[in-house]
Amino acid sequence: MKIRSVQCRMLAGTLSKPIQFGIGAFPTFSATLVYVATDDGITGVGECIVRKAPQVTKTVVEQLLSPVLVGRDPHDVEGLWDEMFQQLRGWGHYRGFVFEAISGIDTALWDILGKAAGQPVSKMLGGAGRPRVPCYSSSVYFDEIPKMVAEAQQQIALGHTAIKVKIGRARALGGRRTDVASVKAIREAVGPGVDIMLDVNSAYDAATAIKVCRQLEDDDITWIEEPVPPDDLDGYQRVREGQGIPVAAGESEFGVFGFRELIRRRAIDIVQPDVARVGGFSGARRVGALVHAFNLRYAPHTGFSAGIAHLASLHVAASVPNLMTYEYFFAPNPLRDLFTEPFPAPVEGFIDVPHRPGLGLELDERIVRKFEVT
What pLDDT score does 128 carry?
81
What does DSSP say about strands 221-225 and 162-166: parallel, antiparallel, or unpaired?
unpaired
Report whether CATH 3.30.390.10 matches the domain 3-119.
yes
- CB atoms closer than 10 angstroms to residue 369: 11
What pLDDT score does 248 carry?
98
Cα-based distances in Å from 303 to 19, 75, 189, 258, 317: 12, 30, 25, 20, 15
CA distance 234 to 176: 21
Tell me the HSE value of 273 on the side-chain side, using a 13 A CA sphere.
39
CA distance 24 to 164: 18
Domain at 123-363: CATH architecture:
Alpha-Beta Barrel (3.20)
Q: Indicate the DSSP class of residue 357.
A: S
CA distance 92 to 73: 27
| 103 touches 48 (CB < 8 A) | yes
Query: Under 8 Å CB-to-CB from 97, ≥6 apart: which residues?
Result: 56, 57, 60
Domain ranges of the chain: 3-119, 123-363
CA distance 164 to 337: 21
Q: How far apart are the first and last CA of the chain?
A: 31
Cα-based distances in Å from 36 to 9, 72, 335: 12, 11, 20
pTM (2 d.p.): 0.95
Per residue of the chain (374 residues), give pLDDT as tens. Answer: 999 999 999 999 999 888 888 888 888 999 999 999 999 999 999 999 998 899 999 999 999 999 999 999 999 999 999 999 998 887 777 889 999 999 999 999 999 999 999 999 999 998 888 999 999 999 999 999 999 999 999 999 999 999 999 999 999 999 999 999 999 999 999 999 999 999 999 999 999 999 999 999 999 999 999 999 999 999 999 999 999 999 999 999 998 988 999 999 999 999 999 999 999 999 999 999 999 999 999 999 998 999 999 999 999 999 999 999 999 999 889 999 999 999 999 999 999 999 999 999 999 999 999 999 98
CA distance 259 to 271: 8
